[in-house]
Each structure stands twice: as structure tokens, then as C-alpha cells.
Structure 1
Amino acid sequence: MIGIIGLICAIAVLVIGAYKGLGALPLTILASLVAIVTNVMPLWDSFAVHYMKGYTSAYMSYFLLFASSALYAKLMDESGCATTIGYKFIDWFGKKNIMLVTILIVSVLTYGGVSLFVVVYAVAPIMFLLFKEANLPRHLTMACLIVGSATYTMTTLPGSPQLTNVVPTEYLGTTMTAAPILSILCAIGIFSLCLAYCTWAQKKAVARGEVWTYPDNIDPTLFEVKDRSLLPISWKAFTPIVVLLLIIIVGGKFVSNSNMLATSAMLVGALLTFLLNYSKFKGKDWTEVLTNGLGGGISGIGGLAAVLAFGTVVQSSAAFTNIVNWVLGLNMHPYVRGIFATSVFSGITGSSSGGLRLMYQSLGDTFINSGVNLDVLHRLTAIAAGGLDTLPHSPGLFLMFSVLGLNHKNSYRHVFACSVCIPVIVCVVATVACIVLGV
């Protein structure tokens, strides 16, 4: 009992520290220390062995995926393709629908292969430009960013190259297009509810008289596009994304290693972006492009690595073993057990992919032997992972808030509504429907 209370206190440290502005690395070290002491674990071995095993495992498993995604995002930004996509959506939907336009831009990029950990670098300049034109407060950018990156494109849409959709394939032998009909229906539900919330939040902000402001220490001229004719034409901007998705969807039928497939697709997308927009890269400092592009993958994976490190420490504790045994002992339908365990582990780690990995490492064989529909299980657990993963200690939030010049106090309410409450509601409804219909 003391150990379990210790794990709860460790999570409390993560949440409180997040609101105080601490980064993922110091937070997870402090939280791990609390878990270690309360579970009477060896101090040195817990950090030197378990913590570091979890930390390095993130780089060993996903470094190439994050690095290729970051490079792809950098080339999309430097070429102007991301900005072209932004203006094209404005042409289609109008300035009055900036919230919808911004969500769609982020969605296209993340569904098109840009990691949710690094997409903020590509879309921040676009969001600043769009929200300035609409004169909407900056905290609303977080609502659009979280909806477009950490909800339906991350967990629900079939073929998504995001890590949350990749992890189940490694344990269940499924593909990234698992349960496509269920996926599309859930995606529609999540998108509709999130858009309704964003529309309501915009009206409330406008009614309060809130207006656009740039982050401190930001040069506004960096986010101004004076001549749209200098941007790439639309087909050159969209082609790399379309090709990338086709590689993932078609390649999934022939390539079983989803991590390799997603990485390869993003490298092809990056190459196409460069070749189709070669003239835009003339005179560019390639040292800066490659260094910052690939370096974005390192910064993006760092937070995930720290969270997985904390998760590995937790997994090594006696309290965690008791929690797993408790979950295994629950008389639940396999779907319910899957989403419940995933939610618990994702909430503990603050990471959807980290929670999924811990859950499948503990319960994967049990599910495979249960005879349950693995494609449906894949989809339901992916959606469940996208709920409690974005509690205040989620590492991705620190990165997003930092780039947008925001913090938990002025923006987390949007995250909680769109990336916690709505995915949980949709997941519960979908699970009940699958069980009732015998899917």
C-alpha cells in the first residue's frame, strides 16, 4: 500500500512540477526518486539500470523515426510548403474559420508524417500569421495544435504514422490501418466534438475582448509573409504528404515493420520536398538546415525518453507488479481490460506511446491468447492511450508551450477538454458499441 501511495505521490510530483515550469528530465528524476524511496528500491541500480534502460530504449527504438520526422518538418518549413498549405486552407474555408483552418493544417502535417513532438516547429509560424490576421488570442493556438496533433490523427485515423499507432503493431502483429471502419467513425466523433469546443472557446475569448499578442522576445517580422507569389505552388506542397501516406497505406500490406515503414516514408517525403522545391533551397545554409532539422528529433525524443525512463522505474517497483496483477485479476472483457490498463499506464507515464508499450509488455501475450479481435483491440487501446496521456506532466506539452510562449496556467484547459475528456468519451462509447455488437 505504501508503494502504491508512493506511485500516486510520484505522479503528483510530475503534475505539480509541470505547473511550476520544470522540464521533463528533472521532473522524471524527482518523481522516480519518490517512487524508488517509497517502494524501498536500490537507489543506484534504480537510476543507473532501470531509469537509463528506459531512457536509452526510446533512442534505440525511435530515434530514426523522430530524426526523419524532424528533418521532414524542417524542409517543409524552409521550403515554404507548410505556409502554402496554410494559405490554401484559408482560401478554401475563409478567415472567419481560422480555428478550423489551423486544426486542418496541423492535421494534414501530422497525418502526413510529421511527429507531434516536432510539428509545433513547423506550424508555429503559420499559426502566428493566421491568428494575427484574425486577431485571436494566442492561447487558442494550443487548442488547435493539440486537436490536430494529439487526438484523431495520432490515435484514430487508419494509416497514421504516429508512434501511438505504431506501437500496437509491434506487439499484436497488426497493421497501421487496423479496424478502418471503427477508426473512421471514432475519428469523426473526436473531430466533431473538438471542433465544437474550439468554436465555443473562440466565442468566449472574443466576448472577453481578448486579442492577439506575440510571445515575449519574438521578432514579429519573422512571421510575416509579404509576397505569397514567392511560396511554392499548391501541388508541390501537398505532393510529398500524399506520397508519404500512400507509402504507409500500400506498404503496410507488404512490410511488417511499421517503424521502418514510417521512417522510410518520411525520408521519401523529405526528399520529394527538396526535389520539388529545389529553387527554394538555393542559398540556404545547409549546415543550419541539417543541424536544426535532425536536432529537432533529438529534442523531441528527449521528453519521451525521460517519461519512458520514469515508466521503467515504475515498472520495476513492487507496487507496479501489484497493479498489473490487480488488472489481470479483474473479471473484464478483454477490450475493457485493454483500454483500462492503457489509460492507467498512460496516465502514470504521461505518454500515449509509453503507456502502450508498458501495457503490451505486461499484457500483450494475454490478449493474443484470448482470441479477441486484435485489430479492434489495436484501435481501442490506441484511442485510450490518447486520453490520460496528456495530463499536466505529459512531456509533449512542455515542448509545445515553450515554442508557443504559453504555459499550463493559461492554456492547459484547452488540452484537458480536447485531449483528455473527448478521447475518453469516444473511447468508452466505441468500446461499449464493439462489445454489444460482438465485433
Structure 2
Amino acid sequence: MPMSTATLFTGLAGMLASLALLVWLAYRGWSVLLLAPVCAMLAAFVSGEPVLAHWTQTFMASTGRFLAQFFPLFLLGSLFGKLMEDSGSVDAVAQLMIDKLGTRHALVAVVMGGALVTYGGVSLFVAFFVLAPMAQALFRSADLPRRLMPATIMLGTATFTMSALPGTPALQNAIPMPFFGTTPFAAPGLGVIASGVMAGFGLWWLGRAAAAAKQNGEGFVEPLDGGADYEARGKSALVRERASVAQTFDPAEIDSGGRAPEAAGYGVAPPSAFVALAPLVVVVAMNFAMNVVVFPRLDAAYLAQPRWGATTLSAVAGVWGVSVALAVGIVVLVALNRARLGALRESMDAGANAAVLPVLSVGSLVGYGAVIAALPAFEAVRDWVLGIGGGPLVSLAVATNLLAGLTGSASGGLTIALDALGGTYMQLAAQHHIDPALLHRVAVMSSGTLDSLPHNGAVVTLLAVCGSTHRESYRDLVIVSIAGALIALAVVIVLGSLFGCF
């Protein structure tokens, strides 16, 4: 029975009010663990839906499915990043870029250092805390404005290595795999082209900004606190709550565990470039091997049995591949750096603990989205999204962009969009002869654009760690992380529409 106009209006008003409340209170530092269920139940109540049923049967069921699917990636990714940090390997990779490129190419050195560690599986926030002091030293030597540091670090860590480079172990690249039956290497050619666009455009802008600053006599200015305590800057309660919905690592755990022994007086030399890079290479290589070599030859018909969830290999292979890659990377990392990990158990405990708040926070956002998608008035929203001109790729990009921007979370916005519309887009893909791998790449890239709005946890954390403010640094950050990503997304949609997936 069709809804009356009054019922539709009331339902839409409830959805918008709950979303506005969620965004506003999250921006003010309230925990998403509390906000998401409260705002979801508010929308259900206004829509005249059974509140308690949505609480236990919709919200919690969807949150539970997200945890069941993706907690292994949160856990292993967080653990890998923490061990890379505590062994001194992230520092060694960043120092390698500094040694090879030097002060003359300070911007490129910071971008390349961030790209290497994040493409190799190191958590975004671990990279922030390691790269910031090194970037500051480089910028000081090159006399570059410190206000450009956040944009430079963001370009290397949270743009092309997060959403475009094929095979990236970033969570965002794993989320579409169960929905579309794809792998982390979906649309590799388009991903490489998009990465080149993002990196090239971002470096062009940063070089232009640095040249303009030099012409105006603007150079490096020391932060008020001297730049000594990067960790203290990033551990406030406000930063922690926002950061936890944006990535897979809880900043509160950044100083837990055992630091690199050379800094703690053990007299063990820092890792060489080979030792530091080896675990990163292993993660990428194992990810490729599992998804391209092993799984296509694996007989997994048993997965169709009810005891295994009546699923298929294509629905789980992507998560399996990244999980195995990270697990093997951890083993190699520990084997090569055992002497440097003076407090291995503490480091592993801290890495595991750092995964808990982020996965629950993002899972709560997913539960919120599931309740919204289950409300009768959402059908009007679905029809509007699917009716956007330009075809399924454009409407998928718009929907994911909006949800990632509103929630301030690439992973949360992407999961909500695919939970609500993933099946519909698979049907549209079949009708329009669109390769699901192209849907995968467009969806992932769309999640990494408007998510960098001012309330995004990665943005807030990075500015705090760099000792900067939105007023000083956000303009350049927008250009490299949003404008560049949107240009690359447009290129992928045009090329994909003209030539298909490659």
C-alpha cells in the first residue's frame, strides 16, 4: 500500500533530523557508540516503526554482521601497524625517503614515505604519528611553511594508497568485496591511472603553494610547543572519538607497548632499509598471490553448506586474502625484528586493543545505516539516488560521497551505501553490462573524497598531530585530498564508461 504524503514527509523528516543530530553531536565529541543507536531509534520512532525491534533485530544484527566480516582486518591491520611502529620500521622507511630525496625534494619525500608504509598495510594513524616529526624536520631544513605539512602527509597516506592503488590492504578497499564478489585488485588499470592523477595533481598543487610562499617571503615557523610532543597532541578525548570512526587504529594506544629498543637504551641498531621494507613487500605480494594464484585454484564448494553460512568463495576471498597477507607480514616482521621488539607482548596487546574502539564505532554507524535503510520512507531516497542522471556509476559515486561526507567516515559511509544499495547496483550492473570490479573501484574511490570534510577524524587527528589548525592548513588539504580525488574519480567513471573495466 502506497504511503501517504504526510507519512512520507514525517519519515523523511525523522531521518534527516536523526542524521543532523548524529553529525552535530559527533562533531562536538560525543561517542558514536552512544549516538548511533540513539539517533537510529529516534528515526524509527518518528517513522512510527517498532523501536525495540529495530534496536535488536535491525541495528544489532547489522552491526554484528559487520563485525563478523571485518573485525579480522581491523585486528590484524592494527597489530601490523603497531609492530611496524615499535620496531622502528616505519621510521626507517621514512628516513630512507629523506636520505634518497633530501631537502630539495622534501614534499616528494614525505608523500613517498607515507605512500610506502600505508600501501604496505600500516594504519593511517600510526603513519601520522611517525611522519609528522620527520616532515617537520624536512620542512625546517627546506624552509617550507609548516602549514603545508598536513596536506603533504595526507596526500601520501590517505588518497591514492587508500582508495585507488590496486591491491591496497586498506579497509575501504576490502569493504566492497563481499557485496560485489571482487578482489583487492579490482580494475587495476583504472586504479593505477587514478593514483597517477591524485599524486600528480596533489604534488603539482603543493609545489605551486610552496613556490608562492617562497616568493612572498613565507618560511618555516616553529610551533608554539616546539613540536616535541606529537603524541600528546593526538590523544585528546575529542580527537580520539572522531578518529575512531575514520580508521582502524585507536590513537590512545599509540604510546602503549614497547618502543624501538635503540630509543629505550637497549643498544640495538635500527632496522635497515631491507628489514623495514620486507614486511610491506610481503603483505602486497601475499595479497596478490592469494587472490590471483591461490583462490582461483581452490575448491571451496563446501562453503555452500549451511554450517559455513551458505556463502561462496567470491564473497569471502577478498577478506581472506588480506587477512592472510597481514598475518604473514606480522610473522615476517617479528622474525626480522625480534631483538628490536623489547616488549613484544605489550606491543601486541596494544595493537589488538587499538582495533576495538574503531571496529565498534564503525559497526555502530553501519547499524545506524541499516535502520535508516529499513524505514519505509527510505524507498523515496533510494528512488532519488537511482534516478540521478549519468547511469549507475554516477549515482553510486554520489550516494557514497554523500554518506561518507555526512558520517565523516570513508569506511562507515561506504558500508552504509552498499548495505542499502549494493544488491540493487549488482542488478543494474548486469542490466548495463558493467563489470562488478568497476563498481568496486568507483565505490572505494567515492568513499575517499568528501569524507575529508572538517569533522573527519583523520583530518582532526592530523591537524592536531602537526600542531596546525583548520584555518591554517585546511584549504590545501581540501585541494589535495578532495579536489584531486574527485578529479581522479571523474576520470575513472569516464574511462570505465567508454572502455569498460581494465
Shared fold (TM-score, shorter chain, > 0.5): yes
Structure 1 residue 90: Cα displacement: 0.4
Residue 384 of structure 1 is matched in structure 2 by 446
Equivalent of 2:117 in 86, 105, 109: 109
Residue 237 of structure 1 is matched in structure 2 by 276
Residue 367 of structure 1 is matched in structure 2 by 428
Equivalent of 2:125 in 120, 123, 148: 120
Structure 1 residue 246: Cα displacement: 0.7
Structure 1 residue 14: Cα displacement: 4.4
Query: Are the counterparts in 1 of residues 173 and 444 from structure 2 also a CA contact under 8 Å?
Result: yes
User: 1:380 is aligned with what amino acid?
Assistant: V
Structure 1 residue 245: Cα displacement: 0.6
Query: Are the counterparts in 1 of residues 176 and 444 from structure 2 also a CA contact under 8 Å?
Result: yes
Residue 301 of structure 1 is matched in structure 2 by 359
Greater mean deviation of Cα atoms: 128-137 or 179-188: 128-137
Greater mean deviation of Cα atoms: 195-204 or 258-267: 195-204
CA RMSD, aligned part only?
Answer: 3.4
Residue 333 of structure 1 is matched in structure 2 by 391
Structure 1 residue 338: Cα displacement: 2.7
Evaluate the alpha carbon distance shift between residue 100 and residue 47 of structure 1 in structure 2; reply closer, same or farther with a 3 A threshold.
Answer: farther
Aligned 1:6-405 pairs, distance under 5 A: 6-28=14-36, 31-32=39-40, 35-114=43-122, 118-135=123-140, 140-202=148-210, 207-208=217-218, 211-213=221-223, 219=229, 230-253=269-292, 254-255=294-295, 256=314, 257-281=317-341, 284-330=342-388, 332-361=390-419, 362=421, 363-370=424-431, 371-397=433-459, 400=462
Name structure 1 gaps, 5 residues minimum: none
Structure 1 residue 84: Cα displacement: 0.8
1:165-219 deviation line (CA, Å, top 9, x unaligned): 2222222222221222111111100111122333345566775555232769964
* Alpha-carbon separation, structure 1, partners of 2:62 and 2:385: 23
Evaluate the alpha carbon distance shift between residue 358 and residue 307 of structure 1 in structure 2; reply closer, same or farther with a 3 A threshold.
Answer: closer
Q: TM-score, normalised by structure 2?
A: 0.76
* Alpha-carbon separation, structure 2, partners of 1:141 and 1:81: 22
Evaluate the alpha carbon distance shift between residue 26 and residue 65 of structure 1 in structure 2; reply closer, same or farther with a 3 A threshold.
Answer: same
User: 1:366 is aligned with what amino acid?
Assistant: Q
Greater mean deviation of Cα atoms: 61-70 or 4-13: 4-13
1:26-59 deviation line (CA, Å, top 9, x unaligned): 5545644653454344444444443333433332
User: 1:126 is aligned with what amino acid?
Assistant: L
Query: Are the counterparts in 1 of residues 450 and 482 from structure 2 also a CA contact under 8 Å?
Result: yes
1:313-355 deviation line (CA, Å, top 9, x unaligned): 3222333222112333456423223323333443344333333
Name structure 2 gaps, 5 residues minimum: 1-8, 232-254, 296-313
Aligned 1:399-418 pairs, distance under 5 A: 400=462, 411-418=473-480
User: 1:234 is aligned with what amino acid?
Assistant: A
Structure 1 residue 270: Cα displacement: 1.3
* Alpha-carbon separation, structure 1, partners of 2:469 and 2:44: 29
Residue 421 of structure 1 is matched in structure 2 by 483
Query: Are the counterparts in 2 of residues 76 and 122 from structure 1 also a CA contact under 8 Å?
Result: no
Greater mean deviation of Cα atoms: 322-331 or 229-238: 322-331
Evaluate the alpha carbon distance shift between residue 130 and residue 381 of structure 1 in structure 2; reply closer, same or farther with a 3 A threshold.
Answer: closer
User: 2:223 is aligned with what amino acid?
Assistant: T
* Alpha-carbon separation, structure 2, partners of 1:229 and 1:67: 28
* Alpha-carbon separation, structure 2, partners of 1:424 and 1:305: 26
